[in-house]
Chain A
């Protein structure tokens, strides 16, 4: 177990260090996410958006588009110099490599969300601060599912020349249940209904996160072989 965690930590540390040095992924993700929010701001400037029915959808559109950019970048560094091959030569449980990359992607997307929330709040005049705790929770749960399934599918698509198109094409349909649930709960929270109102949706996201964590841990090795 200790060696497993050491491998997870090594992959995570390496990914974060590479990102800290280059800041390529976080810059492009944050820029894209904010750009989407700014465009929504212009589009809705005349009217106040409805927190219950509109705000959640707008936020998660920004998160999901920028998240895909992060996934691409995460595997671009592994393709450069065939580093993924280097990982395969190591005497480690390959599911630990998956977990390390999932956590790295998760933290990166969360960081972008943390920047996006306040800008969204200002430009679209939606009050976020009073709901910070529940919003952070649903953002984390939805993003975890995105990072899990995204990391898994980015492994599949990274070998393709059409990976930029292929990844969103296969990722979004599979991630749709979490997207719908996250949008619903975010809307409920922003409308002041509280987390309890979205109990079933949260359970769905939790179940999805657990299922895809298991699927990823089991399949990552086979996907790398292919």
Chain B
């Protein structure tokens, strides 16, 4: 479904992505793992068509991904760090707005269904401003799923969710994947990877460096591999002398 080849992206400064390669097939959920600054969010934003890469190709269903094509946009659902929701509108009004932009047929039924899927049918008329962080996150997910995309891109989707919310999100994503959808999600929390992802990919300094089927990392294998790849830096004590190398950089 999705093929990424040699993606390079730089904002002001050194490249965030330095030749990133990745595949994600239908029915597969790939977890992007890596420390802050590894390029996970940038990669997802490029795949959502929000930014253009300087180099490389994104292929969607074997064709070059063109964000200007409506058909390509319809294939993608995106959950970003931000809610993309209007706080002054109700949950239902937000989804109605999205439905009209996507020209969804039988929008009212679809909105009811989407609200039910994320467990927000009881607060559909309430303004988003009155929502808790977790409820906003659920509605963000409903927004991304409303037009029934084939590929779901999720940037830290568990943020703000309570345990029940995380469980229902896991169930929802597993169902989405089992119905033939492809999921690409970034997360820092390794405990949520196993139930959702079928494959993991380790991203370091803008490149995919390692990865494999989730079965390869049984037990605490995933955590061990993660810490092996990204060893935690010891925090410097307050008042400790600066290393000469750090001082000069």
Interface: B70 (CB within 8 A):
yes
- Against B, the Cβ 8 Å flags (1 = close, 0 = not) of A76-101 are 01001111011111111000000000
Report chain A residues within 8 Å CB of B73: 89-91
Report chain A residues within 8 Å CB of B72: 91
Q: Contacts A10-B97, A89-B49, A90-B102 given: A18-B88 contact, CB under 8 Å? A: yes
Question: What CA separation (Å) do A17 and B143 show in the bound complex?
Answer: 19
In the complex, which residue of chain A has the Cβ closest to the Cβ of B72?
A91
Question: What CA separation (Å) do A9 and B96 show in the bound complex?
Answer: 13
Interface: A161 (CB within 8 A):
no
Q: Is the CB of A90 within 8 A of B101?
A: yes
A10 CB contact (under 8 Å) in B50, B80, B100: B100
Q: Is the CB of B50 within 8 A of A6?
A: no
Beta-carbon contacts under 8 Å, B63-100 to A: 69-74, 76, 78, 80, 82-89, 93, 97-98, 100
Q: Is the interface of A mostly helix, strand, loop or mixed?
A: helix
B98 CB contact (under 8 Å) in A9, A85, A90: A90
Name the distance in Å between B104's Cβ and chain A's nearest Cβ. Answer: 11
Interface: B203 (CB within 8 A):
no
Report chain A residues within 8 Å CB of B78: 89
Interface: A7 (CB within 8 A):
yes
Interface: A200 (CB within 8 A):
no
B86 CB contact (under 8 Å) in A6, A10, A83, A85: A83
Report chain B residues within 8 Å CB of A80: 86-87
Beta-carbon contacts under 8 Å, B12-26 to A: none
Name the distance in Å between B98's Cβ and chain A's nearest Cβ. Answer: 7
B88 CB contact (under 8 Å) in A7, A22, A87, A88: A22
Q: Is the CB of A6 within 8 A of B82?
A: no
Interface: A225 (CB within 8 A):
yes
Q: Is the CB of A91 within 8 A of B89?
A: no
Q: Give the contact-size bracket for chain B.
A: 20 to 34
Q: Is the CB of B143 within 8 A of A86?
A: yes
Name the distance in Å between A2's Cβ and chain B's nearest Cβ. Answer: 9
Q: Give the contact-size bracket for chain A.
A: 20 to 34
Q: Is the CB of B52 within 8 A of A225?
A: yes
Q: Is the CB of B88 within 8 A of A6?
A: no
A89 CB contact (under 8 Å) in B69, B71, B76, B85: B76
Name the distance in Å between A226's Cβ and chain B's nearest Cβ. Answer: 10
Which residue of A6, A87, A90, A91 has the most chain B CB atoms within 10 A of its CB atom?
A91
Q: Is the CB of B82 within 8 A of A85?
A: yes
Interface: B190 (CB within 8 A):
no
Report chain A residues within 8 Å CB of B76: 89
Interface: B214 (CB within 8 A):
no
Question: What CA separation (Å) do A18 and B85 show in the bound complex?
Answer: 12
Question: What CA separation (Å) do A9 and B100 show in the bound complex?
Answer: 9
- Against B, the Cβ 8 Å flags (1 = close, 0 = not) of A1-32 are 00100110110001001100110000000000
A83 CB contact (under 8 Å) in B84, B102, B127: B84
Report chain A residues within 8 Å CB of B69: 91
Report chain A residues within 8 Å CB of B88: 17-18, 21-22, 77
Q: Is the CB of A6 within 8 A of B103?
A: yes
Name the distance in Å between A113's Cβ and chain B's nearest Cβ. Answer: 24
Report chain A residues within 8 Å CB of B70: 91-92
Interface: B48 (CB within 8 A):
yes
Question: What CA separation (Å) do A118 and B164 show in the bound complex?
Answer: 58
Question: What CA separation (Å) do A85 and B87 show in the bound complex?
Answer: 15
In the complex, which residue of chain B has the Cβ closest to the Cβ of A84?
B84
Report chain B residues within 8 Å CB of A17: 88-89, 93
Q: Is the CB of B101 within 8 A of A81?
A: no
Question: What CA separation (Å) do A86 and B74 show in the bound complex?
Answer: 13
Question: What CA separation (Å) do A18 and B83 show in the bound complex?
Answer: 17
Q: Is the CB of A6 within 8 A of B100?
A: yes
Q: Is the CB of A18 within 8 A of B71?
A: no
B101 CB contact (under 8 Å) in A10, A85, A225: A10
Question: What CA separation (Å) do A81 and B86 show in the bound complex?
Answer: 7
In the complex, which residue of chain B has the Cβ closest to the Cβ of A90?
B101
Can you list 15 A-B contacts with CB-CB less than 8 angstroms, sorted by A residue number?
Answer: A10-B100, A18-B88, A22-B88, A80-B86, A81-B82, A81-B85, A82-B80, A87-B101, A88-B49, A88-B50, A89-B48, A89-B49, A91-B69, A91-B74, A92-B70
